[in-house]
Structure 1
Amino acid sequence: MLEIQDLTKRYGKNLAVDHVSFTVPNGKVGILLGPNGAGKSTIIKSIAGLLRFEGGVGIQGISNRELEAKKQFGYVPEIPAMFDALTVREHLEYIHRAYGVSVSEQEIMDLLTRFELEDKQDKLGNELSKGMMQKVSICCALLIRPQVLMLDEPMVGLDPRAIKELKQVILEQREQGVTILISTHMLEMVKELWDVMFVMEKGKIIGQYTKEEAKDQDIEDLFFDITGGDEG
């Protein structure tokens, strides 16, 4: 479970996130929607421990500031960060050693093959395109077998095949009981994935729905009902 409690983030006098609270239950996919600048990435980075903030974040009932919580979540940032001098393969080896996760050679190769990286595993981080870096970030996040998975605009820069594969991975992770939070402004990319949606505008949650509440209503219709037709 992922619990956000009264999260507030200021940059100087600018209030980027304004007392936001929401919960994504175990084994559900939460979608954080809103235009660029709404505060989505700030929330994701705060959960990941990359920003100081006011309020609380619980990961499986543990504060995100605790090491035990950090071991339980995988994070795919909007802008992938790679080590220039490490190869694709070395990035995966670094991650599984850092998290103390036992990973077989077959598991590593399965991930590389799934995201068409098996022939790129000897390439250095500074030799990769944005799309390839995104794929490596996804593989690293999955490698630790997270209980909570966070993805910030994960489909930007991916080719159509990789987008299809990522969607399938998200559904598989949900089936395995993983709690997932996806931040995006690309409504069409998450239509078949979501269980609960949170719509942001100017640093606040202005509306939310569960799949059960929405019934057969399309996610785009729900979004426009809440925002008054502004996709941003």
Structure 2
Amino acid sequence: MIEVHALRKIYDHHLAVDNVSFQLEPGQICGLVGPNGAGKTSVMRCLAGLIPASAGTMAVAGYDGQRDLIELKRHLAYVPDDPPLFDDLSVGQHLELIGRLYQVPSFHDKALRLLETFQLTDKLDAGATTLSRGMRQKLAVCCAYLFDPAVLLLDEPMTGLDPPGIRELLASVRSRAETGATVMISSHLLPMIEGICTHYLVMKQGELKFFGTAAELRQRYIGTRSLEEAYFAAIDEQTDRHEVDLGNDPNRACEPRVMEVVA
């Protein structure tokens, strides 16, 4: 599960995430949507423990985002939109590394099944640098799935995938949720994720514009004819944005580059 209360993230003098709160239970799939610069990736990286929150509290899979960071990472997988794979490792070696790090029983058989599911079996011995963008994305997802994390954070996971690859990915996300995982998936392609999400978190310029089910989103904006129309109504809604002091934040250093496929 995921619990977030009053999350704020500041980079230098830029307020990227402002007072975001939400809660997700096991088995739920949340679509994290919003225009460019909305703060979606910052929310995910804070949840994954890759960057520190400037304020607020978080709990992931029952572990506190500040006190239990190592245990949190053992139960969470984060796949960024451009996975930084290891150039000197093959596809099979990536999965072996994850299997050994997370002490996955019989990980070889499980890895082969994942490669077959994502049509990467013939790339077992191929180096990461030889893979297309879509194949790199699939490999990162396989690494994330290998140790069965309780929480999955997928940041624009359909980037570079062809239509069959997108279909297989979305089916796998639904399957993970059915086994009890909590999933957050960010995307600019709302119609693509509409069929699998139980909840939506809509952001704009760091602010939470809506959190709830698709039905609740439609109910809030009566007269909209589709979920997409309701989404646009949410991000176009005017709210009063309060001025905040960004001058004394202890965590205002620029976001570091992170060499991680899964946390």
Provide the TM-score with structure 2 as the length reference: 0.83
1:38-187 maps to which residues of 2 (within 5 A)?
Answer: 38-54=38-54, 55-65=56-66, 66=68, 67-187=70-190
How far off is 1:214 after superposition?
5.0
Q: 5+ unaligned residues in a row in structure 2: which ranges?
A: 220-224, 238-263
Determine which structure has more spread, i.e. the larger CA radius of gyration: 2
Query: How many angstroms apart in 2 are the aligned matches of 1:104 and 1:70?
Result: 19
After superposition, the C-alpha distances for 1:140-165 in whole angstroms (9 at most, x for unaligned) are: 00001011111000111111111000
Which residue is equivalent to 1:221? 229
How far off is 1:23 after superposition?
1.1
- Secondary structure of the 2:121 match is coil
Identity score, percent: 39
Is the contact between residue 2 and residue 58 of structure 2 (CA under 8 Å) also seen in structure 1? yes
How far off is 1:212 after superposition?
4.8
| Letter aligned with residue 32 of structure 2 | L
After superposition, the C-alpha distances for 1:91-142 in whole angstroms (9 at most, x for unaligned) are: 0010111112223432111100111111111111222221111000000000
Query: How many angstroms apart in 2 are the aligned matches of 1:87 and 1:58?
Result: 34
| Letter aligned with residue 150 of structure 2 | Q
Is the contact between residue 8 and residue 18 of structure 1 (CA under 8 Å) also seen in structure 2? yes
How far off is 1:71 after superposition?
0.8
| Letter aligned with residue 219 of structure 1 | L
| Letter aligned with residue 34 of structure 1 | G
- Secondary structure of the 1:169 match is helix
How far off is 1:208 after superposition?
2.2
Compared with structure 1, are the counterparts of its residues 200 and 214 closer, same or farther at alpha carbon in structure 2 (3 Å cutoff)? closer
Provide the TM-score with structure 1 as the length reference: 0.93
Pair 1:209-2:245 in alignment? no
Deviating beyond 3 angstroms after TM superposition, the runs of 4 or more aligned structure 1 residues are: 214-218
Query: How many angstroms apart in 1 are the aligned matches of 2:180 and 2:227?
Result: 23
How far off is 1:172 after superposition?
0.6
Compared with structure 1, are the counterparts of its residues 218 and 194 closer, same or farther at alpha carbon in structure 2 (3 Å cutoff)? farther
1:32-43 maps to which residues of 2 (within 5 A)?
Answer: 32-43=32-43
| Letter aligned with residue 49 of structure 1 | G
Query: How many angstroms apart in 1 are the aligned matches of 2:106 and 2:153?
Result: 21
How far off is 1:218 after superposition?
3.5
How far off is 1:215 after superposition?
7.2
